[in-house]
Chain A
């Protein structure tokens, strides 16, 4: 039984009319990828987000070549925020390991820590905004500023969307007698998403400090 058709070229060149292939096809269980639908859903969302952020990066690279571009000097607070985000991702990884080991009591505390750290990160980003506003670096002052506000806002919104699902996963975790597999899946998917947002932030932040 072909569980997973890895190679799209192989798939597209099947000869369904041949009796041998028909015999294989009749055994097909109707699934193309060996992955749960929720996981594929999160992956699809991540692909779409990646396209969105890539197009912003392309626009950034195009716009920064114009002479009116003035680089922003990143405050040290941004480095702290980045560190917070790294720690958040690390803690989330621990949560996933705990839930894999069915150690839900430990997972509960770490899960709450993840939420707390994420709110700290968002607050930190808002403080950076406040800092820029105080020194007169508004969104329309310079294209570099506009991109900075845009990137942080979009990344923050993605994180808040993630926090919505974090909230649902946490509720499941704290409810007694909830389906263990569903808890595990919710935690795993949230963890993947948090790692994804960390990578996105690395790229956006890296782009902004490098230029």
Chain B
């Protein structure tokens, strides 16, 4: 593991229209690391992912991937730098079947999973490959949203609340998938409310409040900081 960050965010400010939503966010992710953003609803976690991807366009500051500036790139060039995005709403397309959804994102680099590998990791998707994408259960849609970016060869995955609203047994399955991805050397930026889930996969945590990074600590300190977290997160 090299010490220079793979993805480097410095002093990131962002706006939704006139409303200033990110205030100087700093964030580092090293190659192969899994980093989790914690924070209340509205703290700016999803906004941070959207700003890194370039979906949120009104930004200032620095976003660098392997030293390459992402801020000046048009939206469709960002994925080609190796970022894969799994949005909170999952973004499964109703007018595409499962297999078309899976094949939709263009390949961005060598070394993505083959379709066979993906179907062996997610057998449900193979069974339902001809179904309309949005006819899948919530858990299956989440699997599909993750599977979709694994095919492209993206090396960094931005994953927004993958366990939201899912049954515990599905959450367990998604946790297993993330552990498997870590083993493959994938770098993951995770937004997650579920501590127990995040603890299983995260190497480091960032804590966000009101559009700012207020703290960061390594994964093993999570238990010791529970009281502090409960106060900030209000859970």
Is this pair of chains taken from one and the same complex?
no
Report A's interface with B, CB cutoff 8 A.
none
Report B's interface with A, CB cutoff 8 A.
none
